[in-house]
Amino acid sequence: MSAVLIKDASKIYDDGERKIIALDRVNLEIKEGEFTCLVGPSGSGKSTLLNLIGGLDKPSSGEVSIGEKNLSVLNSDQLAELRLHDIGFVFQAYNLIPVLSARENVEFVMHLQGLSAEERRQKAMDVLAKVGLAGLEDRRPGQLSGGQQQRVAVARAIVSRPKLVLADEPTANLDSKTARNLVLLMEELHHKEGITFLFSTHDPVVVELADRVIKLHDGKIAEDEIKIK
Q: Which residues bind another protein (CB under 8 A)?
A: 51, 54, 56-57, 76-77, 80-81, 83-85, 89, 91, 93, 95, 97-100, 104, 107-109, 111-114, 156
Q: What is the closest distance, in whole angstroms, from the C-beta atom of residue 76 to another protein in the complex?
A: 6
Q: Dihedrals φ, ψ of 93, to 5°? A: -95, 30
Task: Tell me the residue type at 201.
Answer: T
Instruction: Please say which residue, 12 or 56, places its beta carbon nearer to another protein.
Output: 56
CB closer to another protein, 63 vs 81: 81
The DSSP result for 71-113, as a single string, is GGG--HHHHHHHHHHHEEEE-TT----TTS-HHHHHHHHHHHH
Is the CB of 111 or the CB of 177 nearer to another protein? 111
For the bound state, the minimum distance from the C-beta of residue 183 to another protein, rounded and expressed in Å, comes to 21
Q: Which of 169, 214, 217, 167 is nearest to 21 (CA)?
A: 217
Q: Between 21 and 84, whose beta carbon lies closer to another protein?
A: 84
CB of 54 to another protein, least distance (A): 7
Residue 63 CA: distances (Å) to CA of 26, 55, 99, 161: 10, 11, 37, 25
